């Protein structure tokens, strides 16, 4: 079969990224221009600044990607871009650029759901991984437990009713004086602490999550006891939030009888979470997958991979593709 080369574009938040991926799994390049240094000074992503930086950078990032992969536009079979969920102004830059490329090169356009992209990060790290499997998507914007029935067929089993887990990590980090993005800083500091502070965990009858209660509890505790040991607080926060993730995942595994669990999204880079899921896998005798660190946070290789599976299923977008900031998964 002929090789299929997808050019992927990601611009949903604060990373401008362009990747070239062969046959959905082989990354020729995954060029990422991150705006973290810019948004750091504001303690979080400023949407308007993000859009402006994307528009400034996208052509250059594409040029670098093609050079790195040592290919030219004519070698590409389709252009895939994230069209949601995400920040609308940021998404529009990637969508607009992808449409222009698709039109000028006369190549198909494939709109990709960002969450599908995160899931596909695992296909790149594990070339042998195939659906069906259970995937826990944990990022700055999402906390979803999803049954991956097939490459483009998804069933939501549970999701957060309020904050995404990464949002809670970033907020907790901010109040204890750690820089944006807070997740990696909490990960590091927690290693020096003891998880001995009791924090509230929220459970429902179904597989939904809630992280606003624990977030508020940590904020209040830190306010009332400014001298509280920050490393202990981080370790306790990590433990309690991971308990909630593990509880629902375990319930889902039992309910749908899968033998593979994948983690995805920025928060899946967390070393404590990875260690707890590894242990869960051993206890339940199931295989646990998580993407290599650079494929956990936002990048275009995962978008190109998800784009490939849509492309081979004939799921092509028209030139009227628009950004959908609140795009859902498993409903379209
Ligand atoms: O997937 P991502 O890049 O963007 C979204 O789609 O939301 O995820 C970013 C999130 C941020 O909240 C960041 O703090 C978190 O991932 N994150 C981590 C770690 N690395 C990134 N959270 C906990 N531990 C980490 N090591
Ligand atoms: Zn993301």
CATH of residue 64's domain is: 3.30.420.40
Q: Same domain, yes or no, for 62 and 104?
A: yes
Q: What is the mean pLDDT of residues 299-312?
A: 98
Residue 293's pLDDT is what?
96
Residue 212's pLDDT is what?
98
Q: Same domain, yes or no, for 194 and 280?
A: yes
Quick one: which of 204, 201, 202, 237 has its CA closest to 218? 237
Q: Same domain, yes or no, for 282 and 159?
A: yes
Structure tokens at 321: 């593709």
| 250 within a domain of the structure (yes/no) | yes
pLDDT digits (tens, 9 = 90+) for 61-98: 999 999 999 999 999 999 999 999 999 999 999 999 99
Residue 122's pLDDT is what?
98
pLDDT confidence of 266, banded at 50, 70, 90?
very high
| 98 within a domain of the structure (yes/no) | yes
Q: Which atom of ligand 1 is nearest to the CA of 142?
A: 7
Question: Is the minimum distance from the CB of 166 to ligand 1 under 6 angstroms?
Answer: yes
Question: Is the minimum distance from the CB of 291 to ligand 1 under 6 angstroms?
Answer: no
Cα 291 to Cα 141: distance, rounded to the nearest angstrom: 18
Residue 1's pLDDT is what?
81
Judge residue 59's burial from the number of C-beta atoms within 10 Å of its C-beta, 0-12 exposed, 13-18 middle, 19 or more buried. exposed
Interval between CA 136 and ligand 2 midpoint (Å): 13
Cα 204 to Cα 35: distance, rounded to the nearest angstrom: 37
**Residue 20 in contact with residue 6, Cβ under 8 Å?**
yes
Residue 114 has pLDDT above 70, yes or no: yes
Instruction: Tell which one of 11, 181, 191, 295 to mutate to probe ligand 1, the residue whose CB is within 8 A of the most ligand atoms.
Output: 181
Residue 332 has pLDDT above 90, yes or no: no
> How many domains are contained in the chain?
2
Alpha-carbon distances, residue 264 vs 60, 101, 138, 185 (angstroms): 28, 29, 6, 19
Cα 211 to Cα 172: distance, rounded to the nearest angstrom: 11
Q: Which domain holds residue 264?
A: 131-293
pLDDT digits (tens, 9 = 90+) for 156-197: 999 999 999 999 999 999 999 999 999 999 999 999 999 999
Alpha-carbon distances, residue 310 vs 148, 301, 315 (angstroms): 14, 14, 5
Q: Which atom of ligand 1 is nearest to the CA of 180?
A: 14
Residue 281's pLDDT is what?
97
Q: What is the mean pLDDT of residues 281-295?
A: 97
Task: Please provide the average confidence, as pLDDT, over all residues in the chain.
Answer: 97
Question: Any residues with CB less than 8 A from the CB of 13 and at least 6 apart, and which?
Answer: 45, 50, 86, 87, 90, 140, 141, 298
Residue 246's pLDDT is what?
98
Q: Same domain, yes or no, for 273 and 303?
A: no
pLDDT confidence of 302, banded at 50, 70, 90?
very high
* Torsion, CA 15, CA 18, CA 23, CA 24, rounded to 10: 10
Quick one: which of 109, 102, 107, 92 has its CA closest to 58? 92
| Antiparallel, parallel or unpaired: β 109-113 and 78-84 | parallel
What residues are neighbours of ligand 2 (ion), with CB under 5 Å? Answer: 139, 298
Cα 250 to Cα 132: distance, rounded to the nearest angstrom: 17
Q: Which ligand sits closest to the CA of 272?
A: 1
| Antiparallel, parallel or unpaired: β 15-22 and 26-34 | antiparallel
Structure tokens at 96: 């607009």
Cα 288 to Cα 262: distance, rounded to the nearest angstrom: 6
Cα 88 to Cα 12: distance, rounded to the nearest angstrom: 8
Residue 329's pLDDT is what?
94
Residue 34's pLDDT is what?
94
| 317 within a domain of the structure (yes/no) | no
Question: Any residues with CB less than 8 A from the CB of 217 and at least 6 apart, and which?
Answer: 199, 200
Q: Which atom of ligand 1 is nearest to the CA of 297?
A: 3
**Residue 151 in contact with residue 305, Cβ under 8 Å?**
no
Residue 49's pLDDT is what?
96
pLDDT confidence of 330, banded at 50, 70, 90?
confident
Q: Same domain, yes or no, for 282 and 138?
A: yes
Residue length of the chain:
332
Interval between CA 254 and ligand 1 midpoint (Å): 28
Q: What is the mean pLDDT of residues 217-239?
A: 97
Question: Is the minimum distance from the CB of 261 to ligand 1 under 6 angstroms?
Answer: no
pLDDT confidence of 251, banded at 50, 70, 90?
very high
Q: Same domain, yes or no, for 168 and 242?
A: yes
Q: How many CB atoms lie within 10 A of CB 56?
A: 12
Residue 296's pLDDT is what?
97
| 232 within a domain of the structure (yes/no) | yes
Q: What is the pTM of this model?
A: 0.97
| 299 within a domain of the structure (yes/no) | yes
Q: Same domain, yes or no, for 277 and 150?
A: yes
- Nearest Cα residue to atom 20 of ligand 1: 184
Cα 200 to Cα 319: distance, rounded to the nearest angstrom: 48
Question: Is the minimum distance from the CB of 24 to ligand 1 under 6 angstroms?
Answer: no
Residue 94's pLDDT is what?
98
């Amino acid at each position: 079969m002929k090789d299929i080369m997808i050019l992927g574009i990601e611009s949903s938040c604060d990373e401008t990224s362009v990747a070239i991926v062969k046959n959905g799994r082989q990354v020729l390049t995954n060029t990422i221009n991150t705006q973290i240094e810019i948004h750091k000074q504001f303690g979080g992503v400023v949407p308007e600044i993000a859009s402006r930086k994307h528009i400034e950078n996208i052509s250059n990032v594409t040029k670098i990607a093609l050079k790195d992969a040592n290919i030219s536009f004519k070698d590409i079979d389709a252009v895939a871009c994230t069209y949601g969920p995400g920040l609308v102004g940021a998404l529009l830059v990637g969508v607009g650029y992808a449409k222009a490329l698709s039109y000028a090169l006369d190549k198909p356009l494939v709109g990709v759901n960002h969450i599908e992209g995160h899931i596909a990060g695992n296909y790149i790290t594990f070339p042998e991984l195939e659906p069906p499997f259970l995937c826990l998507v944990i990022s700055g914007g999402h906390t979803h437990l999803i049954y991956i029935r097939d490459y483009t067929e998804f069933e939501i089993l549970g999701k957060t009713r309020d904050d995404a887990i990464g949002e809670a990590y970033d907020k907790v980090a901010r109040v204890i004086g750690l820089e944006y993005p807070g997740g990696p800083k909490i990960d590091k500091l927690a290693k020096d602490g003891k998880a001995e502070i009791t924090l509230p965990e929220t459970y429902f009858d179904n597989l939904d999550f809630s992280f606003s209660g624990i977030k508020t509890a940590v904020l209040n505790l830190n306010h009332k006891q400014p001298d509280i040991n920050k490393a202990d607080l981080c370790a306790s926060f990590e433990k309690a939030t991971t308990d909630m993730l593990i509880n629902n995942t375990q319930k889902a595994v039992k309910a749908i009888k899968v033998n593979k669990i994948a983690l995805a999204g920025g928060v899946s880079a967390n070393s404590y979470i990875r260690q707890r899921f590894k242990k869960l896998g051993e206890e339940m005798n199931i295989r646990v997958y998580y993407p290599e660190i650079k494929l956990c946070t936002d990048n275009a290789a995962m978008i190109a991979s998800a784009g490939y599976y849509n492309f081979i299923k004939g799921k092509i977008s028209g030139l009227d593709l628009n950004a959908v900031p609140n795009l859902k998964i498993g409903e379209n």
